[in-house]
Amino acid sequence: MNQSRLATRKYYSLPDPLPLWRGGSLSSVTLAYETWGRLSPGADNAVLILHALTGDSHAAGLPSDSDRKPGWWNPLIGPGCAFDTDRFFVVCSNVLGGCQGSTGPCTTNSESDAPYTTDFPVVTIQDMVRAQRALFDGLGIRRLAAVAGGSIGGQQALEWVLRYPDDVDAALLFGASERIGPQAVSFNHVGRSAIMLDPAWREGRYNPGEGPSAGLAVARMTAMITYQSQQSMWMRFGRFPTSRSASPDRFGEKFDVESYLDYQGASLSTRFDANSYLYLTRAMDLYDATEGYESEEEALRRVRARTLHVGINSDWLYPPGDVRATSEKLRALGKDACYREIDSVHGHDSFLKEWERMTELITEFLPAASSTQPRTAEKRAYATGE
C-alpha cells in the first residue's frame, strides 16, 4: 500500500474569529482537513481540492476510520495521477457549515455549551473560502499552485481567484458557474422543505442521531435526480421494476429507480446532518460570484490565475453554457481562461465519474513539473489556443 495514499483527518483551529460575509462572526472555527504528498521547501506546490455539497475532506485514499469510503476523487489524486502527489502537496478540507469535522450547525457553541443547530449563522461560499485561506496561513502556505473543485466546490475555486487573486496560480472549475439559476434554487427549496416537514426536525433542535432522516432522504432523492441526466437514467434504470423488494406496495409495483432513490436517500441520512444540508444548500443558492463588486466586469478583472472551466454537455444543474460564459467573459478581459467540455451522458455527476477525461483535462492544464515533464511544447500550445 502506497504511503502517499494514506491520510488521516487533521484539524486546524483558526486563531482568530471569522468575520462573516453576511454580518457577524464566528468566534471559534475549526476545519477538518487531509493532505497527500509533501510540501516543497519553497511551499509552492500546494493544491487545494474543494468538495461538492455533501462531500468531505476524504478526497483521496482508501477507506479509513473516519471515512468508510475511498476518496471521492481517488482516481485523480495520488502518485502519477492527475493531481500527482509526487509533485503536489494536496489538501482537502471540509467546508465551514459542514458536518464532517469542520465547524457547522452540529458544533458546540462555546457561548451556550450546546450545539448551534439552527442558531448557526448563515454562511456563504465567501466565508468558506476565507476559512480555507486561514487554514493555509496556519500551514505556512502563502500561495497555492492550484485550487480545484466541482459544483459548489468549483464555485469556491472561483471565489478563491476573485478574492485572493495574488494567492492562486491556477484554478480548475468543473460543472461550476458564477451563480445557479432559479430552477436549481427550486430543487434546493424542495429539499429544505422536505427536511423541515419531517417532525423529527423539530425546528432544528433534534438530538444527535435523532434527526429528520426521512426528510433528509427526500432532499437527497431530489438532488440525485439533478445530478444525473434523462439519458443516463434511461440507460441505468429504464422502466424496470425493482429487484430490491419482492412484493408491490399498496400503490402498485415499484420501479427500480425508486428503490435506487430510496437507497441513496437513506444512505445520506446515515452520514450527513440535516441542518448542515439546510445551510450548505442555502450557501449554494446565495452565491453570486460578482456580489459585492460594482459590476461583473470589476469582479472578473481581479482574476490573475490561469483558469480552466469545464462544462458537461448533459449537465442541467450547472448548464455548460453558464460555465462557458464565465470563461468567455474572462478571455474578453484578457485573462488566461479556457473552456473545455466533458461529453458524457452522466450529467452533473460526470466530474465524479469520467475519470479518463478528467485526468486528461487536469493533466493538460496543470503546469508541467520542470524536471520531469516531457510535454512542454504541447502545453504552451494549449495555453495560448482554445
**Interface positions with a second copy (CB under 8 A):** 22, 118, 122, 179, 181-183, 185-187, 189-190, 192-194, 197-199, 214-215, 217-218, 221-222, 225, 228, 230, 233-234, 236-239, 250-253, 255-258, 261, 265, 278-279, 282, 285-286, 288, 316, 319
Q: Smallest gap, in angstroms, from Cβ of residue 69 to a second copy?
A: 24
- Our separate counts of H helices and E strands in the chain read 11, 14
Q: Which is nearer to a second copy, 122 or 383 (CB)?
A: 122
Q: Which is nearer to a second copy, 61 or 204 (CB)?
A: 204
Instruction: Assess contact for 284 and 52: CB atoms under 8 A.
Output: no
What is the Cα–Cα distance from 72 to 247, expressed in whole angstroms?
35
Q: Smallest gap, in angstroms, from Cβ of residue 183 to a second copy?
A: 5
Instruction: Assess contact for 176 and 158: CB atoms under 8 A.
Output: yes
Q: Smallest gap, in angstroms, from Cβ of residue 312 to a second copy?
A: 15
Q: At what angle do helices 256-271 and 213-227 cross, to 10 degrees?
A: 120
Cite the active site residues: 151, 315, 348
Q: Which is nearer to a second copy, 41 or 252 (CB)?
A: 252
Q: Smallest gap, in angstroms, from Cβ of residue 327 to a second copy?
A: 20
Q: Which is nearer to a second copy, 63 or 199 (CB)?
A: 199
Instruction: Assess contact for 34 and 57: CB atoms under 8 A.
Output: yes
Q: Smallest gap, in angstroms, from Cβ of residue 45 to a second copy?
A: 37
Long-range contact set of residues 254-262: C-beta below 8 Å, sequence gap at least 24: 257/233, 261/221, 261/224, 261/225, 262/217, 262/221
Cell reading at 63: 477507506
Q: Smallest gap, in angstroms, from Cβ of residue 129 to a second copy?
A: 17
Cell reading at 282: 442555502
298, 182, 177, 315 alpha-carbon torsion, rounded to 10°: -160
Q: Which is nearer to a second copy, 107 or 222 (CB)?
A: 222
Q: Which residue has the cell 471521492?
A: 72
Q: Which is nearer to a second copy, 111 or 386 (CB)?
A: 111
Residue partners of 279: CB distance under 8 A and separation at least 6: 97, 104, 105, 120, 122, 123
